Structure 1
Amino acid sequence: MLAIINGNIFTMAGPPLKKGTLLIEGKKILKVGLEVPVPIGTEIIDASGKIVMPGLIDAHTHVGIAEEIYRIEGDDTNETTDPVTAHLRAVDAVNPADLAFQDALTGGVTTLVTGPGSANIVGGEMVTMKTHGAVVDDMVLRFPAGLKCALGENPKRVYGGGQKMPVTRMASAALLRDTLVAAQNYLDKIQHSVTHESSPPERSLKMEAVVRVLKGEVPLRVHAHRADDIMTAVRIAKEFSLELIVEHCTEGHLIAPWLASAGIKAVVGPIISNRAKVELMNRSLETALSLYQAGVPFAIMTDHPVVPIHYLSLSAALAVKGGLPEEEGLKAITIYAAKILGIDHRVGSLEPGKDADIIILDRSVLDPAHRVEQVLVEGCRVI
């Protein structure tokens, strides 16, 4: 058993606990509070003068897939041979030896989502995983974590140059719709074979991945920067009754009320970015604020390696600079991210029964000068 005592505990499930105690048994949090008895023989970490909070969560990265240092050798981000590759699985590309995993831990990030890039209309299935481990299978928290899709400039640039669909935004939307309809037809054939005790259709890994979205088992996670691309994703999600998470949502501040009324979730970022392409023209530090004010559930991401993953907290700090309340900035990289990812029963806050993913800092994680002094993943000290 392990106890962290005397720290200023930010549970992210209530007000901070000054000089609180957090009791850990095995991989889980046993108790947290101000008057928690510590059994004799318990290992003690004295966090006097320190902040104790849940490990951070980066809701959108390419860690382990777009590897640090390597270029061609370690870049497995985009399968640019077909605009629809729903059957690709992020778990088959993640290298747990990628140096970015260690960077994540030094930055206090204990959970992340990684997946394919945005070259394809349908890129493949994403995975939510812990940042500590030697074998991917042991690090997985949720798979699949969503089906990665993309609208806007990237698919047009990758395929349009070779006069291959999509050349236009109309074609991008059409390809996504066509894929969803094909999956509906595949599902109908399966159900018909069950009802009529006939032979099922030939198995299709591509269709199986899309069917999971149609059945509501995983969300459709659509890369979209520009407001019109975002609304195309919303339109398609409504048409097929899908759970939608908008990835990037760069111009979300221009249409926040519409996103709120449609019940859309967003993962915002990268915030530390220049106007690298036209669809980033209206990037703003106030995007997260606008979504918060409109009531849109959101998290903040780095899109590593676009922004190094250990700058996740700095990304949240910049959103706070843009007007987002400090507490909301903290939640956007902890409990809000966990809820959007469907893993809040495991991580995102310090509560009994949850994974003991904990970081200890010398000051607020939103202060650029902070230092992450200790990191625990499932009760094991890794830093």
Structure 2
Amino acid sequence: MLAITGGKVITMAGQIYEPGMVLVERGKIVAVGPLNGVPAGVEVDDATGCVVMPGFIDAHCHVGVAEEIYREEGDDTNEYTDPVTPHLRAIDAVYPADLGFEDARAGGVTTVATGPGSANIIGGEMVALKTAGQVVDRMVLRAPVGLKAALGENPKRTYGREKKMPATRMASAALLREALAKAQDYQRKLEAAAAGRGERPDRDLKMESLVRVLRREIPLRVHAHRADDIMTALRIAREFNLLLVVEHCTEGYLVAQELAAHGVMAVVGPVITNRAKVELKGISLQTPRALAEAGVTFAIMTDHPVVPIQYLALSAALAVRGGLPEERALRAITLDAARILGLENRLGSLQPGKDADIVVLNGHPFDPRTRVIKTYIEGCLVYKDLNI
């Protein structure tokens, strides 16, 4: 058993203990509370003067898929040969030795959702991983954690310049609808066969992935920066009764009430970026505040390698500069991020029964001077700052 003692324990479940103690056994948190004595015979990590929090969660990045250092040798982000590829699985592209995972642990990031890029209308299945491990299959928390889709400039630019569909926003929406309609037909055939009213159709990996979305087993996670693209994603999600997560949501402040009214969640960012393309014209640090005020559940991302993953907490801190309450910004990289990934029963707060994914810092995570001292994943020390 491990006892992390003496620090300011921010549980993200409403309680703050100073000084506090977190007890860990067999990879799980078994107790959290004020420091009133340490059980005999336990290993003690003295965190006096430090902040103890749940590990940070980056709900949208490409770590392990777009490898650090490498170019095409290690870049498996986009399959440019076909605009509709729902059957691609990010797990098949993740390289556990990517230096991005090392940076994540050094930044206190213990969980990521990683996946395909946004060149395709439907890019493939995303996966939620712990950031430590040598075998990707043992790092997996949930696979798939969503089906990646994209609207706006990226698919238009990728295929339109080749005189292929989609070259317009209309075609982008049409291709997405077409794929979902085909999946509805496939689903009906499966259901008819299960009821004894016909033969089971030949297996179709593309359709299998889309059927999971139609059944609301996983969300459709749509890359959309501009408000018009966000509304197209919402329109299609309503047509097909889908769970929708808007990725980036740059102009979400313009349609925040619409998102809230339909229970749509969002992953906002990257925050630390410039107007690298037209659809980023409306970028604003006030987007998270507007979403919060409307009642939208959202997380904050790095989109690593766009922003290095170790700067996830700094990204959330900048949202505070834009008017987001500090507690809500912390939730955007812990508990609310876990909710968007469907993992709130395991991650995002320091509570008994949850995974012992814990970060120890020498100050508040939003202070740029703060350093991560230690990072634990399932109770195992996976990072230690040797300079402190």
- Please, what TM-score do these two structures have when normalized by structure 2? 0.98
Q: What is the Cα deviation at residue 38 of structure 1? A: 3.0
> Where does 1:193-204 land on structure 2 (aligned, <5 Å)?
193-196=193-196, 198-204=198-204
Name the structure 1 match of 2:308.
308
Give the aligned length.
383
Name the structure 1 match of 2:386.
none
Name the structure 2 match of 1:375.
375
SS in 1 for 2:6: strand
Q: What is the Cα deviation at residue 35 of structure 1? A: 5.1
Name the structure 2 match of 1:57.
57
Name the structure 2 match of 1:358.
358
Distance 2:11 2:195 in 1: 50
SS in 1 for 2:81: coil
Distance 1:245 1:5 in 2: 38
Name the structure 1 match of 2:16.
16
> 1:225–1:249: 8 Å Cα contact kept in structure 2?
yes
Q: What is the Cα deviation at residue 214 of structure 1? A: 0.3
1:257-287 CA deviation, whole Å, 9 max, x = no partner?
1111111100000000100000000000000
Q: What is the Cα deviation at residue 198 of structure 1? A: 3.4
Name the structure 2 match of 1:222.
222
Q: What is the Cα deviation at residue 197 of structure 1? A: 5.2
> 1:23–1:38: 8 Å Cα contact kept in structure 2?
no
Distance 2:39 2:196 in 1: 62
SS in 2 for 1:222: strand
Q: What is the Cα deviation at residue 199 of structure 1? A: 2.1
Name the structure 1 match of 2:269.
269
SS in 2 for 1:91: helix
1:91 paired with 2:91, answer yes
> Where does 1:104-253 land on structure 2 (aligned, <5 Å)?
104-196=104-196, 198-253=198-253
Name the structure 2 match of 1:81.
81
- 2:142 corresponds to which letter in structure 1? R
1:99-130 CA deviation, whole Å, 9 max, x = no partner?
00000000000000000000000000000000
Distance 1:6 1:191 in 2: 57
> 1:219–1:243: 8 Å Cα contact kept in structure 2?
yes
Name the structure 2 match of 1:44.
44
Distance 1:113 1:2 in 2: 28
Name the structure 2 match of 1:67.
67
Q: What is the Cα deviation at residue 196 of structure 1? A: 2.5
- 1:244 corresponds to which letter in structure 2? L
Q: Which moved more, 1:31-40 or 1:363-372?
A: 31-40
Q: What is the Cα deviation at residue 39 of structure 1? A: 2.4
Distance 2:354 2:42 in 1: 19
Distance 1:194 1:373 in 2: 55
Q: What is the Cα deviation at residue 195 of structure 1? A: 1.7
> 2:289–2:324: 8 Å Cα contact kept in structure 1?
yes
Q: What is the Cα deviation at residue 340 of structure 1? A: 1.0
Give structure 1 stretches of 5+ with no counterpart. Answer: none
Distance 1:188 1:237 in 2: 19
Distance 1:196 1:53 in 2: 53
SS in 2 for 1:71: coil
Distance 1:108 1:294 in 2: 29
1:9-49 CA deviation, whole Å, 9 max, x = no partner?
00000131110111111100000001565321100011111
Give structure 2 stretches of 5+ with no counterpart. Answer: 384-388
Name the structure 1 match of 2:296.
296
Q: Which moved more, 1:30-39 or 1:201-210?
A: 30-39
- 1:141 corresponds to which letter in structure 2? L
Tell me the C-alpha RMSD between the 2 structures.
0.8
Q: What is the Cα deviation at residue 131 of structure 1? A: 0.2
SS in 1 for 2:112: strand
Distance 2:9 2:362 in 1: 12
Q: Percent identity?
A: 64
- Please, what TM-score do these two structures have when normalized by structure 1? 0.99
SS in 1 for 2:338: helix
- 1:59 corresponds to which letter in structure 2? A
